[in-house]
Copies of this chain bind each other. A is one copy, B any other.
Amino acid sequence: MAGIAEVARAAGVSKSTASRALTGAGYVSEDTRARVRDAAAALGYVPTTSAVSLVTGRTQTVGVVMPTVDRWFFAHVLEGIQDALLERRYDLALYSAPPESDARRAMFEHFLARKRFDGLIAVGIEPSAHELERLVAFGKPVVSVGGYDIGTNAVSIDDRAAGRIATEHLVGLGHREIVFLGGDADARRTSYGDGQRLAGYRAAMREAGLEASLSHVPCGVSMPGGYAAAVDLLGDRRSRPTAVVGVCDEVSVGAIIAARRLGIRVPDQLSVVGIDDHSYAEMFGLTTLQQKPHQQGRAAVQLLLWQLDDPDAATHRIYEASPLLVRGSTAAVDDEASAIVGAGPRTSG
């Protein structure tokens, strides 16, 4: 059977380039990759894992650290990572455990310390626990997904801008009583990105001279969490806002379902805006800022493999675009419609 040397010779490249082209470990132009693969196919060459490991000294495994897989964002980042790793013939070692849990502590103390990976992708990690710092200390490349970074390679949307743009959209429609729904009161279990979205809402409200109307209603970051909090918030006529910014689409959809249950018309009596463009957003006509976590997962793999290929390369901070998609859940404030259901006093716009 042909060896890597024959493949390299046939393709007119070095052995290490041929190895990179076949293993996916490191950057090779599409052109070169195609030429090497053609040569390998023509010669009947099949790289084996152990041979690859001996050449590269690598595990051909990428570790993925995340708090949960049962949330749209995390599931889609994970699928993006998996897709990209399958293409590169890398294995994916999953390390998933909720924040502040015993399992999470054990993960950092025992599992990650075994370093059975060439590099890590850390999704939605906790800055308060210095998790990213601890991951970097293992001495392997780390890419952060979800907002927080310490000069490491990182991918996310600009969460602060997303919170600001969502709020400004409502302000532009004449809304004054705008509530931010989601996350917890002390922000300890809120993800870094969620906290940034809240900060963006606060900034936009202040800039619009609406500091007195600032209102953050904490709730679980899920559809039932948003639903339960919105039933309370909207059920009380005295506190009912004319608009809600959800920390994410799951919370926003929960608020829309609560409004329907209470007979409050969206958007006539209540405007709702989300952040994500979740797979449920369209069926609820939700106005939202779109992000593509699957793409973020793929981008994280690309950054990690670049770093594996060239440990001295400069790090990158990629902000994915998050355009505003205006659907049917937001409209200009209607003083009459709001008054019918007894909205509180409001400074007219």
Contact = CB atoms under 8 A, between A and B. Distances in A.
Interface of A: 49, 61, 64, 68-70, 72, 75-76, 78-79, 82-83, 86-87, 89, 91-97, 103, 106-107, 110-111, 114, 116, 222-224, 227-228, 254, 257, 260, 279-280, 282-283
12 contacts: A49-B116, A69-B78, A69-B79, A70-B279, A87-B103, A91-B114, A93-B94, A94-B94, A223-B280, A224-B282, A224-B283, A227-B283
A89 B75 contact: no
Given A116-B49, A283-B257, A79 B89 contact: no
Nearest to A294: B70
Contact of A222 (B89, B93, B279): B279
Given A86-B111, A282-B224, A93 B93 contact: yes
Nearest to A258: B283
A86 B95 CA distance: 9
Contact of A111 (B91, B106, B111): B91
A226 to B, nearest CB: 10
A323 B93 CA distance: 35
A82 B97 contact: yes
Contacts of A61: 93, 116
A257 B254 CA distance: 12
A230 to B, nearest CB: 11
Given A83-B97, A86-B107, A91-B114, 14 more contacts: A49-B116, A64-B94, A69-B75, A69-B78, A70-B279, A75-B75, A78-B94, A86-B103, A86-B106, A93-B93, A223-B280, A224-B282, A228-B283, A257-B257
Contacts of A257: 257, 283
Contact of A94 (B72, B82, B222, B282): B82
A96 B111 contact: no
